[in-house]
Amino acid sequence: MTLRRRKSPRGSGELLADEIMDAATALLLEHGDVTAVSIRAVADRVGVTPPSIYLHFADKDTLLDAVCARYFEQLDGVLADASAGIDDPLERALQEGLAYVRFALSTPVLYRMAFRQVPPDRQMKVDEVLAASAFARISATVTDLVDEGFFPAADVSAVVLEFWAAAHGVASLMLAKSTLPWGDDLAVAESLLRSVCLGRAAAGTLGEDSGPEDVRAWLGRQQGAHG
């Protein structure tokens, strides 16, 4: 028999919503599977009736979206800490990418949940949070690279998506195939992200239409200048 909590005082709805998200998060982390999270299971964990859950969240998907959004609200602070005091925007981009990967690896269940497939017409709160955290933070770094002449100003969004795709891709692969030789302290991830950052900067210098021969010629000039 589930013990029911006493009726909450007026104005405590926000606190109950937080308790509901805490319970859903705990169930996700304990079981590692979204199927363990049901409205009834969450209600039992909190000590309320299922209809009390629906006063705050329309359905299970809405609740899970809120859980993931709250999780990603921490990301902006993580990226800020990782890049604090780094003046070079290329190095800052690298450290932000590595911080993103570490963030994903630290809570794999929540990370996978945040990127689960949803109907394309469904508005997700987690997308809004990501836009205000990861996308906005990396956009600021890329804008600094634009100011230094690495990319045209019109390319900011495209470059941000490329950097984000690289960080998300390596994080997802590391989660899916954790037994592969990723190296100590994210060695492979760092090599990949550094290559993307430097390669994209080189592409911005050479031009988007540059081909292999252009790259070889540029490398030859660089080697000659330092020979």
DSSP-derived letter for residue 219 is: H
Q: pLDDT at position 200, please?
A: 80
pLDDT of residue 22: 95
Residue range(s) occupied by CATH 1.10.10 in the chain: 13-57
**Four-way CATH pick for 71-207: 1.10.357.10, 3.60.20.30, 3.50.50.60, 1.10.10.10:** 1.10.357.10
Q: Answer whether CATH 1.10.10 is correct for domain 13-57.
A: yes
What letter would DSSP give residue 75? H
How much is the pLDDT for 7?
46
pLDDT at residue 11, as a whole number: 40
Q: Write out the H or E segment, with its range, that includes residue 44.
A: helix 39-46
The CA-based angle 72-73-78, given to 5 degrees, is: 85
Q: Are 34 and 113 in contact (CB under 8 A)?
A: yes
Q: For the chain, give every residue range classified as CATH 1.10.357.10.
A: 71-207
Whole-angstrom distance, CA of residue 151 vs CA of residue 25? 41
pLDDT at 81: 95
CA 219 – CA 224 distance, rounded (Å): 8
Q: What is the mean pLDDT of each run of 10 residues along the chain (227 residues)?
A: 44 75 94 89 94 93 92 89 93 94 92 80 83 89 89 85 94 94 92 88 72 76 70
Confidence (pLDDT) at 47: 93
pLDDT at residue 226, rounded to an integer: 66
Q: Which of 52, 53, 54, 59 is nearest to 7 (CA)?
A: 52
